[in-house]
């Protein structure tokens, strides 16, 4: 199982994708979990209502979303269990798109950036960490 999670293509194309997505989500996650960069912090963020009514208790789902952003960003940036990190980010982006941002597409309140993040995460889910990743270093080579 671990071998499948760490397998990766030997491409350099994933490196800029991992850096961009990882940095963005570490920043977003740090705002929500740690209160960094003028963010709300975990206590305030978990008091927000959940996007969907079936997400109960809301504080649990909001906490999972915040931690998924931070942990997913760290995993993607390092290229460690890249597919797991990309999956966490994809889950958060799907909820953001369909639960918060829909139907507006363009900024400032639209889903265009979330769709771009979702696409990058999907690409990393398919390819793995690629070159210069911890996944590749620990022997999860595929091609």
Domain boundaries, the chain: 2-137
Instruction: Give mean pLDDT, residues 47-60.
Output: 95
Predicted TM-score (pTM) of this structure: 0.92
Q: What is the pLDDT of residue 138?
A: 87
Q: What is the pLDDT of residues 13-42, one digit of tens each?
A: 999 999 999 999 999 999 999 999 999 999
Share of the chain above pLDDT 70, in %: 97
Q: Decide which of 141 and 100 is more confident.
A: 100
CB 79 within 8 A of CB 46: no
What SS3 class is residue 5?
Answer: helix
> How far from 65 is each of 3, 89, 91, 131, CA to CA, in Å?
27, 9, 8, 28
Residue 107 above 80 pLDDT? no
* Alpha helices by DSSP H, the chain: 2-6, 14-34, 41-45, 58-78, 82-95, 112-127, 134-137
CB 86 within 8 A of CB 42: no
Q: What is the pLDDT of residue 106?
A: 86
Residue 67 above 80 pLDDT? yes
Instruction: Give mean pLDDT, residues 69-86.
Output: 97
Q: Shortest CA distance to 15 belongs to which of 27, 7, 26, 23?
A: 23
């Amino acid at each position: 199982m671990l071998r499948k999670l760490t397998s990766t293509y030997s491409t350099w194309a994933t490196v800029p994708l991992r850096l961009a997505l990882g940095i963005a989500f570490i920043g977003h996650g740090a705002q929500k979990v740690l209160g960094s960069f003028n963010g709300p912090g975990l206590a305030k963020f978990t008091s927000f209502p959940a996007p969907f009514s079936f997400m109960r208790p809301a504080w649990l789902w909001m906490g999972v979303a915040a931690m998924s952003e931070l942990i997913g960003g760290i995993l993607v940036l390092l290229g460690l269990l890249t597919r797991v990190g990309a999956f966490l980010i994809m889950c958060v982006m799907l909820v953001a798109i369909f639960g918060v941002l829909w139907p507006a597409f363009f900024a400032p309140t639209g889903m265009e950036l979330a769709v771009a993040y979702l696409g990058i995460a999907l690409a990393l889910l398919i390819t793995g960490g690629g070159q210069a990743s911890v996944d590749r270093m620990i022997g999860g080579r595929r091609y």
